[in-house]
Amino acid sequence: MLAGPRLSANWSAHLILLLGVLIFVFPVYVAVIGSTHDVGTIARGEMPLRPGPYAIENYQQAWTSGEGERVKGTAPVSRMMLNSLIMGSVIAAGKIAVSVISAFAVAFFEFPLRMFFFWMIFITLMLPVEVRIIPTYKVIADLAMTNTYQGLIVPLIASATATLIFRQFFLTVPDELVDAAKIDGAGPMRFFWSILLPLSSSTIAALAVILFIYGWNQYLWPLLITTSREMNTIVIGITKMIGTGDAQTDWQLIMATSVLAMLPPVAVVVLMQRWFVKGLTETEK
């Protein structure tokens, strides 16, 4: 039997964890502070570690205009947040919809080339955007889908991982349930809607959390596909605002934008922690 945790061991554990939390929180704290001062205070290198009086102005300016004295050519943060929100939620919904029906087909039907199709989906795991940048861009350009939501979203909707997870879950659904549904005269789609989907609800919730964050945080793809500022996502917008990283730029706006950009995905993780952890640990297995 183990001796109960000693006081000293407890102290060092708290110390390590607090230090970890501090390192995580510190950059965000500084960003929040930065977003409450005016451009001059920051540029002179005089920013204190206390909040300044300009919070409302800075956030308002970022939200409604997105441009400052030096930062030019960015869309209002509200517009870019909307783009990110659309991208995150439609990618999550789309990936789940497309994957759940594929997995249903593979797990509940017997048909020629079944495993061939399954492997075709599986192999896309090995083809991330990064290794096919230019040809994929060409496809989008040929389809006239640059600077559109379809272009941002559709190519990212295929999902090998989500398909694998749903398939694995479907294989655990007892045969008796299927038999019972059949005896009651339910066809495959009736079974899918009335029995299978409700059973999968916790898997769907967990995946939705992970995939929303995935979509919101996309970088390379929106960078390639969107050239008009109206279509930029918030993450790309921040890079544009930073530009060459001059000391004399509108840091207060960049920090306000950074804080706003991380708010939705962080809120999703914190508020839906249980689904998040479940989704993460299950997607990767």
Is residue 197 within the footprint of another protein (CB under 8 A)? no
Is residue 251 within the footprint of another protein (CB under 8 A)? yes
Q: Which of 82, 85, 205, 262 binds another protein (CB under 8 A)?
A: 262
Is residue 203 within the footprint of another protein (CB under 8 A)? no
Q: Which of 28, 141, 144, 199 binds another protein (CB under 8 A)?
A: 28
CA distance linking residue 67 with residue 75, whole number of Å: 7
- Closest contact distance (angstroms) between CB of 1 and another protein is 6
CA distance linking residue 11 with residue 80, whole number of Å: 45
User: How many residues bind to another protein according to rule CB under 8 A?
Assistant: 105
Distant-in-sequence, close-in-space partners of 243: CB < 8 Å, separation ≥ 6: 71, 249
Which CB contacts under 8 angstroms, 24+ apart, belong to 105-109? 106/163, 106/167, 107/166, 107/167, 107/170, 107/171, 108/170, 108/178, 108/188, 108/191, 109/188
Distant-in-sequence, close-in-space partners of 104: CB < 8 Å, separation ≥ 6: 166, 170, 192, 196
Q: Which of 89, 146, 147, 168 binds another protein (CB under 8 A)?
A: 168
Tell which positions 218-247 bind another protein, by CB under 8 A.
Answer: 219-220, 223-224, 235-236, 238-239, 242, 245, 247
Is residue 208 within the footprint of another protein (CB under 8 A)? no
Only segment of 51-59, 72-80, 187-195, 197-205 that touches another protein (CB under 8 A): 187-195
